[in-house]
Amino acid sequence: MKPAHVVLLAEVSAARVIGGAERMLRGQAEGLRKLGWQVGLAVREPQGDPHPQAGFAGDLTEHRYSVRRTSEPAYVLSSLQGSIGAFERACGGARPDVVVIHQAVAGLGPILRRRSSAGSWVYLCLSLAHEEYRSRTDPASVSRLRYVANAAMRRWCERIVMRRCASVVVLSEFMKQRVQAVHGIPEQLVHVIPGAVDIERFVPAGDPAGVRRQLKLPADRTVLVTVRNLVPRMGLEQFVRAVAMVRDEAPGILALIGGEGPLRVELERLIQRHGLEDHVRLPGFIPEEDLPKYYQAADLVVMPTYELEGFGLVTVEALACGTPVVGTPVGATPEILQGIDPALLTGGTQAEAIAESLRTMIRRFRARPGERAELSAKGLAAVRARYTWDRHCAALADVLADACRRSGRR
């Protein structure tokens, strides 16, 4: 099948990138256009940016819909109504060959009410909606009934949408297994296409010392970096405790935990409790344009995830910057790190296991000055062989074309 017309539906904006979901949407839009596809986007309006459409990357335009946030039912109903209108505008009066749904709520209205308006439908599952909700929400912050109902609604919505799609795309074998187990999608309909990183933007530093000066970081300390939403599933409390355990052996250690979220106050208390004010910093939200600098400045990037690592975009971004990554054996992280060096995987998710891996890597770097450079080279090779946008979008185009062919036969 030749390049055709595709519409992408999402609850995030490709024109206003602030996280991994936005980078995935934008990367696919730009990559498919590069392959010759006609690309339309229908997305939820970002908070604080009330414009009905926005242009980006030259000639790409996203059509936006607004939502009411007064209650969960109001949010869902307004999303159902608004997403249909934005979908129709993104189609531009033509019938798209295929629609890719990035988040279930964004696709629910169009696939229920406008299913025949497209040749085929494909679902992209970055993470399971109800599991993501539970990981981000403190049960004590809402009533038990509301917590259970919200999780159930997200699971139900995602299942309805996913089962009406011709194919489901995931970024890892881990997520493939979760999709099959939770939603009962047949194995032959679930396609693993690893995530990707912009290898022209995330690159090794030409002057690492200069990067540290820009970020006002000391040149003579062992710097650890992680960039995460500050929520419980990220394992950040265990990371802080691990730093406390290795502080005596590596007194110059300095950990930077970038990001914002409800866990910030607890992390600040934990840092004070362990007397780590000189060893752990919380720089807050790190803008997209500064992310490569933080990875380049680090001796190690740490992924202390406790659960639900559907892919690990931070991992491949750091590797693309030439920085080795230590990660817990959770979700898709082993799929990325195992082939580079098994020692980069911790023995578990607890602080003791993370601390032991940090000690091991610090000792190796001290004992063999070329060790870090070798790991850096292996990481770069893995990224260029497997995690580029050209590879991702070429594989995605094949899945979309196959979904169109099967819909045509039906």
pLDDT at residue 401 above 90? Answer: yes
Question: pLDDT tens digits for 229-274?
Answer: 898 889 999 999 999 999 999 999 999 999 999 899 999 999 999 9
Burial of 120 (0-12, 13-18, 19+ CB in 10 A): buried
Alpha-carbon distance 410 to 405, whole Å?
A: 9
Cross-strand partners of 10: 43
Question: pLDDT tens digits for 43-73?
Answer: 999 988 888 999 998 889 999 999 998 888 8
Check whether domain 208-386 has CATH 3.40.50.2000, yes or no? yes
Give the percent of the chain with pLDDT over 70. Answer: 99
Alpha-carbon distance 44 to 108, whole Å?
A: 13
Tell me the range of 369-373, 377-381, 400-404 where mean pLDDT is highest: 377-381
pLDDT at 1: 61
Q: Name all contacts of 283-292 with Cβ < 8 Å and 24+ positions apart.
A: 283/256, 283/257, 283/258, 284/258, 284/259, 284/260, 285/258, 285/259, 285/260, 286/227, 286/258, 286/259, 288/17, 288/18, 288/23, 290/215, 291/202, 291/227, 291/317, 292/201, 292/202, 292/203, 292/317, 292/321
Instruction: Kindly list the domain boundaries of the chain, sorted by start residue.
Output: 5-196+388-409, 208-386
pLDDT at residue 397 above 50? Answer: yes
Is the fold of 5-196+388-409 the same as that of 208-386? Answer: yes
Alpha-carbon distance 205 to 169, whole Å?
A: 33
pLDDT at 111: 97
Question: pLDDT tens digits for 187-198?
Answer: 999 999 999 999
pLDDT at residue 409 above 70? Answer: no
pLDDT at 410: 47
Angle at 397 between CA 391 and CA 402, to 5 degrees: 130
Q: How confident is the model at residue 407 (pLDDT cuts 50, 70, 90)?
A: confident
Residue type, 329: P
Question: pLDDT tens digits for 66-90?
Answer: 999 888 889 889 999 999 999 999 9
pLDDT at 148: 87
Cross-strand partners of 39: 6
Nearest to 122 by CA among 98, 140, 144: 98
Question: pLDDT tens digits for 123-167?
Answer: 999 999 888 888 777 777 778 888 888 889 899 999 999 999 999
Is the separation of the CB atoms in 214 and 293 below 8 Å? yes
Q: How confident is the model at residue 408 (pLDDT cuts 50, 70, 90)?
A: low
- CATH architecture observed for domain 5-196+388-409: 3-Layer(aba) Sandwich (3.40)
Mean pLDDT of the chain: 94
pLDDT at 120: 96
Question: pLDDT tens digits for 287-332?
Answer: 989 999 999 999 999 999 998 889 999 999 999 999 999 999 999 9
Q: What is the separation of C-alpha 78 from the centre of its chain, rounded to a whole number of angstroms? A: 26
